[in-house]
Structure 1
Amino acid sequence: MITRETIDKVFETARVEEVIGDFVQLKRAGSNYKGLSPFSDERSPSFMVSPVKQIWKDFSSGKGGSVVTFLMEHEHFTYPEAIRFLANKYNIEIEETEVSQEDKIEANEKESMYLVSEFAKTYFHETLLNSEEGKAIGLSYFKERGFTNETIAKFGLGYSPETWDAFTKEALAKGYQLDYLEKVGLTILREDGKHFDRFKGRVMFPIQSLSGRNLGFGGRILTNDKKAAKYLNSPESEIYHKSKVLYGIFHAKQAIAKQNNCYLVEGYTDVIQLHQAGIENVVASSGTALTPDQIRLINRLTKNITVLFDGDAAGLRASVRGIDLILEEGMNVKVCTFPDGDDPDSFARKNSYEDLVSYLENNAKDFIQFKASLLMDEAKNDPIKKADLIRDMVVSISKIPDSIKRQIYIQETSRIMDISEQILLNTLAQLVQKDISEAGKKLKQEYKALEVVKTETQSAQEKVNIVYELERKIIEMLLLYGSQEADFDDFILKANEEGEMIEEKETSTVKVHQRIYLSLQEDEVELANPLFKEIYTDLIAYYNQNEQFNIEQYLMQLSVEHSQMVTDILMTEEKELLHNWEAKHIYVKTKNQNVSQYVSETIVSLREYLINKLIMDLMNSYGNEEENDLEELKSTINDYNKLKVNLTNKIGRIRSTYL
């Protein structure tokens, strides 16, 4: 584990503008920097970096936080990975607490499995490069495939010795538990207590998550043993679910986002060979049929998928089923096939980068054109087969959620297949209606429930928004001014010499967070928004433990959700700068021009709203009271109305005092 001292040093040293500047082109905007969002496609800059506050905010996507959260969002790093990246950038030595045998046992099961899997990746890679067997068998195989040393290192390719338990022995000697070796599927334990390596005698392909953690392995046998599977994958485990994983996603994620397209292939070597050739936005389904979870993983990075198939017609028909799944997820799909006898691996080896790019661009077909060209030759002289083909194309179109896209594809199918557009539309309508009918049964009761509360929700929306804005202001004041001292005026009722009750102004100097806390405690007010309530509690605790507010230190302890909300609030004024109001002679008043007034007005406004709500609740219960309770109810409502008038007057006095 990385020590707290190292983490603190990283936060103290790293400059948010320097780190983000390596990924985003930033331009100076006053005391801040601005640029185009790296998380969305935009033409006007909505991405702001504050060197003073050491935070960033992307107003187009809502993301924001510290330098570490940027790396976690943009590079998909884990927290420790982001810390290590920054430590390396600023030449900070990483101090770690040694993981003892007891710590390994006590570590949670999932983390222990990750540790075992990472150790295995290192072991297999070092065996490939450094052992005689590894070099003679494994490394020779990879070199024959045309993989360079850089590619072998980048993908962490390895070799598992032919010996029955070479890996397991080494892992046990290093202190890893047999239980976890078995759970991740690296070791097979027999009933007689003996154990052996699952992947013995195979070249190894580590399978990584989107963030780069090692989840499992694919192993290819190099002998002609007909009883053994050519490829063997890790079994399902707590950390490896093959239906949710795509081979190569860690190395491809940046290129996929940048190119706004993902090439989908079938095998490990297809991915590696294309990547080495310069086509880096490529992933594989690792020999398993494409699943919705795998498609959604790509959907986080792009809406566009190009499926690459080899020229084998039988394989094409089997693989075509995945296209409907892609369409069903609302994504755009194209298909590119290679000449007979070629697959992505072999084709990439034969051609230069320029020729490869040109081929992919010129031969990628829309899925409608692809289906038509695939089956038309055998169907053109058979009306029944042609009808089945057309119906198959319409079934695919029916999976598309977007009605406009469906209409366009119907027109295209009509043109290609030379059939009436109206007939296709009628068929499509039947298919869509069938899907809607089935889904409707499931949702019918939910719609009824929603209809009941619809009116109440609409009428309450304005009130919810008022509370939200007032509570957001309270969090904003704590973040911006919590440790500042300010003069606050209170109007106290006192008796004069004649015994009349008059108001006298008393001024006290207190810190803003104390004033807010005491005011809310006085009225026993709890924030209604769960997120604001959690942040409020954290902030009050932070101020009670720290003399000054340190934004970097505070952000370190926040979750991603809290961090995004906090940076959104802190960067409110920077958002105004994006619009360049002053250049248009529109001047936005900054809140720190009068902290006392801002704090007092907000607290009083919240109290006024809550009293209004109490009055409305009482009035709504008016007809439900017994006759002898009506007078008491009227009296209570009158008292609240008087308090409301006093609060309204108080807001006026606050404003006039500070004008």
Structure 2
Amino acid sequence: MCNSILFIINCISKRETPPNFTSLQFVMISRTTIDNVFETARVEEVIGDFVQLKKSGSNFKGLSPFSDERTPSFMVSPVKQIWKDFSSGKGGNVVSFLMEHEHFTYPEAIKYLAKKYGIEVEETEQTDEQKQQANERESLYLVSEFAKEYFHKTLLETEEGKAIGKSYFKERGFSDATIKKFSLGYSPEGWTAFTDEALKNGYQLSYLEKTGLTIVKGEKKFDRFKGRVMFPILSMSGRTLGFGGRILKTDKKAAKYLNSPESEIYHKSKVLYGIYHAKQSIAKEDNCYLVEGYTDVIQFHQRGIENVVSSSGTALTPEQIRLVNRLTKNITVLFDGDAAGLRASLRGVDLILEQGMNVKICTFPEGEDPDSFAREHSLEDLTRYLEEQAQDFIAFKASLLANEAKNDPVKKADTIRDMVVSISKIPDVIKQEVYIKECSRIMDISEEVLFNTLAQLLQKERRDASKKPVSQKEQMEVVPNTPQQVKKVDVQYELERKIIELLLLYGMVEEEFEDLILETNEAGEITFSPEKSNAKVFEKIYLDLQDDEVEFTNPEFKELYFEIIERLNQQQEFKIETLVNQLEPEKAEAITDILMQEEKYQLHDWERKEIYVKEKKYTISQIVSETILNLRRELVTKKIVELSTEVKELTEESQKENSLQDIVDYITLKKILSEKLRRVL
């Protein structure tokens, strides 16, 4: 009976160390560079460039950058140097975040981090053949990056570029430092100047056409942006997505501004000009200035206000607003003093309100725009003006629409309804009530009337939503009214997962454990005799599972178990971030999911709701012992079920008696384990 729980076959076998994923797959960058990047990069700093993070205990939390949400489900652990997005299930280290969020390849993510932290990248030069072998998306990025550098070099180093392009930027008041910061450029007048240079450098015509840099008509080809000054449009991580080009000569047939066409990498509705240079300042100032043009953004930066972006002349979209929403909840929209169709522009304000953001509006004196005003005023004067003139959206809209209505009662009624429509877009009911009260005060109308109007609008929205035609995919399938089956918990899966977690968190910690020695007393009963000993957590787990000949049933956990045990056994200092950084993305994500599972409860901010959750007070030795005992009990339970099934098929009485006795012994063993577990708990 001493070996009664040793029923799982296949003892733990020796496993060879897997090849290092990063060093094999990405030979272009040296191992030294990769190690330096991982040692230097801080996950909270890198992700903080893309997502507004707020402290939550020892971690940070924020809105998911992978889904549209209004309550945080995104968690970053500075201690473990990992992140987890509970809304999408994604997770991993600093590199995996860049690969998921910015669609970087592994080498590009490493290069991005190296540039951010000033680390020299050791790599071999890519050949023309390797450039051609890059996948299409990466090829589009490569072509766009080449174009940015070509236009910038042309502006600074050619006679035509200096005389035409640079002279224009100097007239706008841009310094050399500003021109360099925004990589401003110039596309020569020649019909194929850029295209010829790109082809000469090994870039394929098909990619030049797909990015819109070259227009191809039959056998003819020519540059889209010829004779224009160039404004590169960058992603939040600094990748070149497309371009805006301004023509300098008077030509009624040509558009004043011309943007890159939509492509696989450039979607104008999802991009904000200047977001790359503004992201850190937006998060720091907790506010974003929204302007209309490229030069507005650049002039503000040059004056010293960097938390500014532009919609590049296009109507504001929800995707653009969500880009800002990751960094701040506050937007100040800046309008030209003589902006035509100002009322139409206010529709963008309603979109911002729908995203649950706080909106202020500031207009400049007649005849001025953000560019000209910033050029003519000092930083101190500009800052003071923005602070003093920025109005809450409801006050601004009231003054604007009230001026239009004047003494016309009908127009005034329309104005009030227009304001209530904006308030109805706000998802927060508390904010709705505050704005209704403010609207009542400004427009001198009773709150009751405004609240009734708001209720009617919201009710109409719900009715319209219910009348919206449902697509075939969205239609509900009629199924029989049968009781819903509750998904059964896989106990062994959860216990194996817990063992991985314990190894990761406490593997090298030495604790005093109470081992259970299985014995039979004088009365022939099975008992456990306690025996105390000191051991590291990983040694305790490994030896106990080996003694019981337990093998993991989940293949993913099984691989992770051996990987972790081997590292703990060989390394004097075990770091989770080092392990995560060296594993394949799938394994790294699995580890992240395990480690961050407990952390997700911090997202709910229970204390703010006056709900106080008791923290676990287990000692490490207790929780390790409890997990192992639970696994033993689960395995014993499965053995009882297995034997009970077998005994029904036996025909000989002697075999039945032996099997029944085994079942009794296992039931006794399970009872002892259960009693021991209650004592531990």
Bucket of the pairwise TM-score, normalised by the shorter protein: 0.7 to 0.9
Letter in 2 for 1:180: Y
Residue of 268, 274, 277 corresponding to 2:300: 274
Q: 2:242, 2:266 within 8 Å by CA — same for their partners in 1? A: yes
Letter in 1 for 2:562: I
Indicate yes or no: 2:343 matched with 1:317. Answer: yes
Letter in 2 for 1:184: T
Indicate yes or no: 2:524 matched with 1:477. Answer: no
Is 485-494 or 341-350 further displaced after alignment?
A: 485-494
- The residue that corresponds to 1:176 in the other structure is 203
Distance 1:641 1:323 in 2: 73
Residue of 185, 192, 213 corresponding to 1:186: 213
Task: Report the Cα offset of residue 480 of structure 1.
Answer: 4.6
Task: Report the Cα offset of residue 106 of structure 1.
Answer: 2.1
Q: 1:484, 1:512 within 8 Å by CA — same for their partners in 2? A: no
Indicate yes or no: 2:234 matched with 1:211. Answer: no
- The residue that corresponds to 1:359 in the other structure is 385
- The residue that corresponds to 2:272 in the other structure is 246
Letter in 1 for 2:147: A
Distance 1:449 1:611 in 2: 43
Percent identity for Structure 1 against Structure 2 = 57
- The residue that corresponds to 1:426 in the other structure is 452
Shift of the 133–406 alpha-carbon distance from structure 1 to 2, 3 Å rule, reads same
User: Deviation per CA, 1:448-501, whole angstroms, max 9, x where unpaired?
Assistant: 999x999977xx7xx86988974553122332566999999686789x9x9979
Letter in 1 for 2:355: E
Task: Report the Cα offset of residue 408 of structure 1.
Answer: 1.0
- The residue that corresponds to 2:168 in the other structure is 141
Distance 1:78 1:394 in 2: 48
- The residue that corresponds to 1:393 in the other structure is 419
Q: 2:517, 2:530 within 8 Å by CA — same for their partners in 1? A: yes
Q: 1:110, 1:238 within 8 Å by CA — same for their partners in 2? A: yes
Shift of the 587–228 alpha-carbon distance from structure 1 to 2, 3 Å rule, reads closer
Distance 2:161 2:545 in 1: 67
Letter in 2 for 1:161: P
Distance 2:224 2:457 in 1: 47
Task: Report the Cα offset of residue 266 of structure 1.
Answer: 0.6
Shift of the 651–485 alpha-carbon distance from structure 1 to 2, 3 Å rule, reads farther
Q: 1:39, 1:61 within 8 Å by CA — same for their partners in 2? A: no
Structure of greater relative contact order (alpha carbons < 8 Å, 6+ residues apart) = 2
Question: Map of 1:459-608 to 2, 5 A cutoff?
Answer: 470-480=495-505, 522=550, 525-526=553-554, 534=556, 537-541=559-563, 548=570, 551=575, 552-556=577-581, 557=583, 559=585, 561-562=589-590, 564-565=592-593, 568=596, 591=620, 594=621, 599-606=624-631, 608=633
Shift of the 246–362 alpha-carbon distance from structure 1 to 2, 3 Å rule, reads same
Is 235-244 or 429-438 further displaced after alignment?
A: 429-438
Indicate yes or no: 2:152 matched with 1:130. Answer: no
Distance 1:454 1:275 in 2: 62
Task: Report the Cα offset of residue 204 of structure 1.
Answer: 0.4
Question: Map of 1:402-441 to 2, 5 A cutoff?
Answer: 402-440=428-466
Q: 2:114, 2:121 within 8 Å by CA — same for their partners in 1? A: yes
Task: Report the Cα offset of residue 245 of structure 1.
Answer: 0.4
Residue of 218, 221, 227 corresponding to 1:201: 227
Indicate yes or no: 2:135 matched with 1:113. Answer: no
Distance 2:282 2:182 in 1: 17
- The residue that corresponds to 2:32 in the other structure is 9
Distance 1:59 1:109 in 2: 29
Residue of 305, 311, 323 corresponding to 1:285: 311
Q: Which structure 1 residue ranges, 5 or more long, are not aligned?
A: 25-37, 527-532, 573-585, 617-634
TM-score (norm 1): 0.75
Distance 2:329 2:139 in 1: 35
Task: Report the Cα offset of residue 332 of structure 1.
Answer: 1.0
Distance 1:5 1:183 in 2: 27
Residue of 264, 271, 284 corresponding to 2:290: 264
TM-score (norm 2): 0.73
User: Deviation per CA, 1:556-586, whole angstroms, max 9, x where unpaired?
Assistant: 23547546446648999xxxxxxxxxxxxx9
Distance 1:205 1:418 in 2: 48
Distance 2:154 2:416 in 1: 54
- The residue that corresponds to 1:625 in the other structure is none
Task: Report the Cα offset of residue 325 of structure 1.
Answer: 0.7
Q: 1:117, 1:214 within 8 Å by CA — same for their partners in 2? A: yes
User: Greater share of helix residues, 1 or 2?
Assistant: 1
Distance 1:385 1:519 in 2: 85
Q: 1:519, 1:603 within 8 Å by CA — same for their partners in 2? A: no
- The residue that corresponds to 2:409 in the other structure is 383
Letter in 2 for 1:649: I
User: Deviation per CA, 1:490-521, whole angstroms, max 9, x where unpaired?
Assistant: 86789x9x997978999999956755876998
Shift of the 642–145 alpha-carbon distance from structure 1 to 2, 3 Å rule, reads farther
Shift of the 646–482 alpha-carbon distance from structure 1 to 2, 3 Å rule, reads same
Task: Report the Cα offset of residue 94 of structure 1.
Answer: 2.1
Distance 2:524 2:52 in 1: 65
Task: Report the Cα offset of residue 386 of structure 1.
Answer: 1.1
- The residue that corresponds to 2:646 in the other structure is none
Shift of the 60–610 alpha-carbon distance from structure 1 to 2, 3 Å rule, reads same
Q: 1:252, 1:283 within 8 Å by CA — same for their partners in 2? A: yes
- The residue that corresponds to 1:332 in the other structure is 358
Question: Map of 1:154-169 to 2, 5 A cutoff?
Answer: 154-169=181-196
Residue of 653, 667, 672 corresponding to 1:649: 672
Q: 2:43, 2:94 within 8 Å by CA — same for their partners in 1? A: no
Secondary structure (helix, strand or coil) at the match of 1:99 reads coil
Distance 1:442 1:464 in 2: 39
Letter in 2 for 1:108: N
- The residue that corresponds to 2:327 in the other structure is 301
Secondary structure (helix, strand or coil) at the match of 1:217 reads strand
- The residue that corresponds to 1:35 in the other structure is none
Letter in 2 for 1:299: N
Q: 2:83, 2:92 within 8 Å by CA — same for their partners in 1? A: no
Secondary structure (helix, strand or coil) at the match of 1:314 reads coil
Q: 1:308, 1:336 within 8 Å by CA — same for their partners in 2? A: yes
User: Deviation per CA, 1:128-177, whole angstroms, max 9, x where unpaired?
Assistant: 11111011111111111111111111111111001001111000000000
Q: 2:54, 2:60 within 8 Å by CA — same for their partners in 1? A: no
Secondary structure (helix, strand or coil) at the match of 1:279 reads coil
Residue of 368, 371, 377 corresponding to 2:394: 368
Letter in 1 for 2:133: E
User: Deviation per CA, 1:238-263, whole angstroms, max 9, x where unpaired?
Assistant: 00000000000011101111111111
Distance 2:462 2:630 in 1: 48
Letter in 1 for 2:669: N
Shift of the 400–649 alpha-carbon distance from structure 1 to 2, 3 Å rule, reads same
Task: Report the Cα offset of residue 360 of structure 1.
Answer: 0.6
Question: Map of 1:336-355 to 2, 5 A cutoff?
Answer: 336-355=362-381
Shift of the 77–644 alpha-carbon distance from structure 1 to 2, 3 Å rule, reads farther
Letter in 1 for 2:366: D
Distance 2:567 2:56 in 1: 44
Task: Report the Cα offset of residue 426 of structure 1.
Answer: 1.0
Task: Report the Cα offset of residue 96 of structure 1.
Answer: 1.9
Q: 2:394, 2:439 within 8 Å by CA — same for their partners in 1? A: yes
Distance 2:484 2:405 in 1: 56
